[in-house]
Structure 1
Amino acid sequence: MDFNQQIVDTFRANGGEVNEPMRFGKGLVLVHVPRKDGSVRIAPLAAIQEDGARYIVASAGGSPRNPAWVYGLRRAEQVDIEVPGEPVETVRTKVEELSGEARDAMWARFKEFSAGFAEYEKTAEGRVFPIFRLVG
């Protein structure tokens, strides 16, 4: 079973809490990302909840390239996300990519959320990680 599918299955089976194979707690959402061919990819992503929105970052583990799902979110006006709860709930959200100071401030929050995000900057070859606001 691939790593992401294991995370998705654990998320859904445990009310959105994931502590194996990595410790995420309830800090994840499952984003239903539309593809060009009309299918949907489910991406488990770390999320910061603030001011009635959830924020996700396209860090790709510090890769110098954006993950493929970034382009699907840039094309979408709305996406469904699965959020922690008993049971896990699916919510339709509007998608907004942050830029400028808003993006930089949220990037600082992600680095506070997990030191791993700061480490990603070292291997990303200068790539600025896209950050999206999901609100519904």
Structure 2
Amino acid sequence: MGMNIGNSRQGEEDEVMVEMNTTPLIDVMLVLLVMLIITIPIQLHSVNIDMPSGTPPPQQIEPEVISIDVTPTNEVLWNGQPLAGSDALEAKLQAAAAMPVQPEIHVRPNRAARYDTVARVLAASQRYGLGKIGIVGSEQFAQ
């Protein structure tokens, strides 16, 4: 049992302290905590990963870039080489569509080129199923 030391008055009888002394309880809990920490095995910071087996996937082949220019005189150039007519353009586009990897078509119209010539190139590309078509140099039309 504990006694109250600080509140005693002279001449009065000492009162018994009713509160529980928690200091030994805390000491026991700290000792148990230290024992628990010591007995836990040290875990390594490693992660087990299931690695895939087999061959890696094949590397992706970069598509060929085909540049189609439309000059101010409405002449169509295939990678810088002039084409004889619309039949030559259709034959080149058909050959490009038959490639195993679909090429990228970069259409570069001149500002002075007629719209119907550019539209004919785009329509022929779409007709043969070429989906990777882009118009290059469109910032010249924003001026």
Which TM-score applies when normalising by structure 2? 0.20
Larger Rg: 2
Which TM-score applies when normalising by structure 1? 0.20
**Greater relative contact order (CA < 8 Å, ≥ 6 in sequence):** 1
Between structures 1 and 2, the one with greater strand share: 1
